[in-house]
Amino acid sequence: MVQRLTYRKRHNYATKSNQHRVVKTPGGKLVYQTTKKRASGPKCPVTGKRIQGISHLRPAEYKRSRLSRNRRTVNRAYGGVLSAGAVRESYSHKMF
């Protein structure tokens, strides 16, 4: 026989925010473990490309206490906000 499982949290509808996976505990029981949604990571508002060098996390996990500064930003002007190409383009417009 297969062990029956019941959801331990939320509702029993298979929505994107209610995904689970089956995990075997050290005691040999099967339980549901709630999985987090995949994070797409920050995008540049000018070019629309993903910003390189920054962890792909859910928005709440970018808070100060959870992530060190070097994982949140990139060491350049507008680091972590604009992509390198957008910064280069904006500087070339300012110069000429």
53: number of Cβ within 10 Å: 13
Q: What is the pLDDT along the chain (96 residues), one digit of tens a residue?
A: 678 888 888 788 889 988 999 999 999 999 999 998 898 989 999 999 999 888 888 888 888 777 888 888 889 888 889 988 898 887 777 765
- Residue 56 CA to residue 88 CA, distance in Å, equals 23
Amino acid identity, position 6: T
* Phi–psi pair at 32, nearest 5 degrees: -85, 135
Partners of 20 in the beta sheet? Answer: 34
Predicted pLDDT of residue 96: 59
The per-residue pLDDT for 1 is 67
Give per-residue burial for 9-47: e unless 16+ CB within 10 Å, then b.
eeeeeeeeeeebeeeeeeeeeeeeeeeeeeeeebebeee
pLDDT at 67: 81
